[in-house]
Amino acid sequence: MTYRLLSLSLSFAAAFASTALRAEEGEFVPLFDGKTLTGWEQHSGTAEYRVENGVIIGKTVPNTGNSFLCTARKYGNFIVELEFKVAPGMNSGIQFRSNYYEKETEVEINGKKKKFPADRVHGYQFEIDPSPRAFTGGVYDEGRRGWLFDLKNNEAARKAFKQDDWNTARIECRGSSIKTFINGVLAADFTDDLTKEGVIALQVHGIGKKTEAVGKEVMWRNIRIQELK
């Protein structure tokens, strides 16, 4: 009888812990309704964004800086998953814990002053890099400190990216811990506490006056988030 009561107690405790975990972390919810750009705002550049067949498509245009389609609200601790497909030779990225100022602002980063133009999106970026360098899944600090975690020493992640096909990105932010995955392969794993919350954003990289790069596209779909408390 004592053994049975102990077994029941342990089972109850396990069930309670599982329920508590689900309650704490919540469920995955979509960030994109598959039909419109409701809940998203464009900042920085003037690249073209549209929705077709459940996919957000970003297209390059000349004479503009980097463009970002940003969530209207900010997120702190979370897991983001999505699928993306990018034209060969077109650099792109997925911003997270990123921000922008409504007016020109000067801040100090690591002892150095840096001036941000109004509306310039900056922050952590899951790199999308179809070039031979193959750094897709590395983390770049857009507009601030540059590379935080490249893939020079992660050959498995460099080989995980699929050219001319859909790829799955996963970003995990828990406090100062940041992890990224490309098609299920761990890409970046490091700690950084410069920014604790910000928007999720889809980048179309600026092409300057390169007419041969006009009209190239990057696509995202099945964008969802699980908030962590």
Please report, rounded to a whole number, the percentage of residues in the chain having pLDDT higher than 70. 85
Q: What is the pLDDT of residues 68-107, one digit of tens each?
A: 999 999 999 999 999 999 998 888 999 999 999 999 999 9
Indicate the helix (H) or strand (E) that contains 5: helix 2-25
Indicate the helix (H) or strand (E) that contains 179: strand 177-182
Q: In the structure encoding, which two tokens stand for residue 216, read together? A: 């190239």
Q: In the structure encoding, which two tokens stand for residue 30, read together? A: 């979509």
Confidence label for 211 from pLDDT (cuts 50, 70 and 90): low
Confidence label for 212 from pLDDT (cuts 50, 70 and 90): low
| Across 112-122, average pLDDT | 92
**Torsion angles phi and psi, residue 22, rounded to 5:** -65, -40
Q: What is the pLDDT of residue 88?
A: 87
Q: What is the pLDDT of residues 33-75, one digit of tens each?
A: 999 999 999 998 899 999 999 999 999 888 888 899 999 999 9
pTM: 0.86
Task: Judge contact between 191 and 174, C-beta under 8 A.
Answer: no
**Fold type of domain 27-227:** Jelly Rolls (2.60.120)
Instruction: Kindly state the greatest CA–CA separation across the chain.
Output: 80
Average predicted confidence (pLDDT) for the chain: 88
CA distance 94 to 71: 11
Top-ranked range on mean pLDDT: pick from 2-16, 120-134, 209-223: 120-134
Task: Judge contact between 82 and 94, C-beta under 8 A.
Answer: yes
